[in-house]
């Protein structure tokens, strides 16, 4: 893992917030300008095209930031959990630890039931 990868992990939440903010600003500004300028001048058709483009761009940015870009915790889980689960130590030790913990719980519960 490189330092750039680590930087991206740390900054994913900030990137998501920035993209979401940019999407909201683009969509909102495009809608406001379109409402204010429609039918006011002959250049309105060019402005309408610009507003529609800005609205679509803002909507795409908002969608990308909220739905497709993972958060820092999600990216960490994506990168860390699979190698951890496939590790030899996990495969060998966890079943034994699970069995020991179940046995300890059974013993403890059996001791609480019988006074």
- pLDDT, one tens digit per residue, over 16-53 is 888 888 888 877 877 777 777 666 666 666 777 777 78
**41 plus 81 within the same structural domain:** no
Other beta carbons within 10 angstroms of residue 109's beta carbon come to 9
**65 plus 87 within the same structural domain:** no
**4 plus 23 within the same structural domain:** yes
**88 plus 102 within the same structural domain:** yes
**59 plus 6 within the same structural domain:** yes
Per-residue pLDDT at 53: 81
**113 plus 79 within the same structural domain:** yes
**6 plus 49 within the same structural domain:** yes
Per-residue pLDDT at 40: 66
Q: Which domain holds residue 16?
A: 1-69
3-state secondary structure 4-19: HHHHHHHHHHHHHHHH
**44 plus 21 within the same structural domain:** yes
Per-residue pLDDT at 27: 78
| Contact indicator for 58, 33 with CB cutoff of 8 Å | no
| Contact indicator for 31, 51 with CB cutoff of 8 Å | yes
| Contact indicator for 72, 10 with CB cutoff of 8 Å | yes
Query: Number of structural domains, the chain?
Result: 2
| Contact indicator for 33, 90 with CB cutoff of 8 Å | no
| Contact indicator for 54, 32 with CB cutoff of 8 Å | no
**1 plus 33 within the same structural domain:** yes
Binned at pLDDT 50, 70 and 90, residue 115 comes out as: low
Q: DSSP letter at 71?
A: -
SS3 86: coil
**62 plus 105 within the same structural domain:** no
């Amino acid at each position: 893992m490189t330092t750039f990868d680590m930087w991206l992990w740390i900054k994913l939440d900030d990137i998501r917030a920035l993209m979401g903010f940019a999407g909201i600003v683009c969509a909102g500004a495009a809608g406001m300008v379109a409402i204010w300028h429609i039918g006011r001048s002959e250049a309105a058709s060019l402005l309408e095209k610009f507003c529609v483009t800005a609205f679509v761009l803002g909507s795409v940015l908002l969608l990308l930031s909220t739905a497709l870009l993972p958060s820092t915790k999600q990216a960490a889980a994506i990168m860390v959990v699979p190698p951890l689960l496939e590790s030899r130590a996990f495969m060998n030790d966890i079943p034994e630890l699970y069995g020991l913990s179940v046995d300890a719980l059974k013993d403890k519960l059996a001791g609480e039931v019988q006074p």
